[in-house]
Amino acid sequence: MPQARDIMTPAPQCIGEDDSLVDAAELLVSLDVGALPICGEDNRLKGMLTDRDIVVKAVAEGADPAHTKVGRLAEGKPVTIGADDDVQDALETMRQHQVRRLPVIDGHDLVGIVSQADVALSLAPSDAGDTVAEISI
């Protein structure tokens, strides 16, 4: 069975916790992604930010995206997987925490992201649909 590092998207670009939500939205667009890892000044992972977070947790509540810092939306300890962990462990973590993107850590360093699509592509076609459905519940 492959490890998380075998299926992850490597070298994800972080958004700083002190950057604005406008900065984050611009980066999401330029990278053509739906989520970004939030990193602190210490380069440690602080959380994940999605395009949906910006809309639901900030704009819809009347926050000014130009003056709202990304770190405001980083909630709790991020759910991660180790780079050498088995893909089945990544699947179980995604199912248990209902996350579609899972940061991959090697030691204390963020080295990649395993997405729902990465997982689906690594499975046999018969298993992919069930797995994606379970993560998306």
pTM for the full model? Answer: 0.85
Q: What percent of the chain shows pLDDT beyond 70?
A: 90
Q: Which fold has domain 4-136?
A: CBS-domain (3.10.580)
What is the tens place of the pLDDT at every residue in 63-116?
999 999 999 988 778 999 999 999 889 888 998 998 989 999 998 899 999 998
> What's the chain's average pLDDT?
89
| Nearest to 4, CA basis, from 105, 96, 125 | 105
Q: How far is CA 94 from CA 53, 57, 115, 132, 137, in A?
A: 18, 22, 9, 10, 11
pLDDT at 129: 66
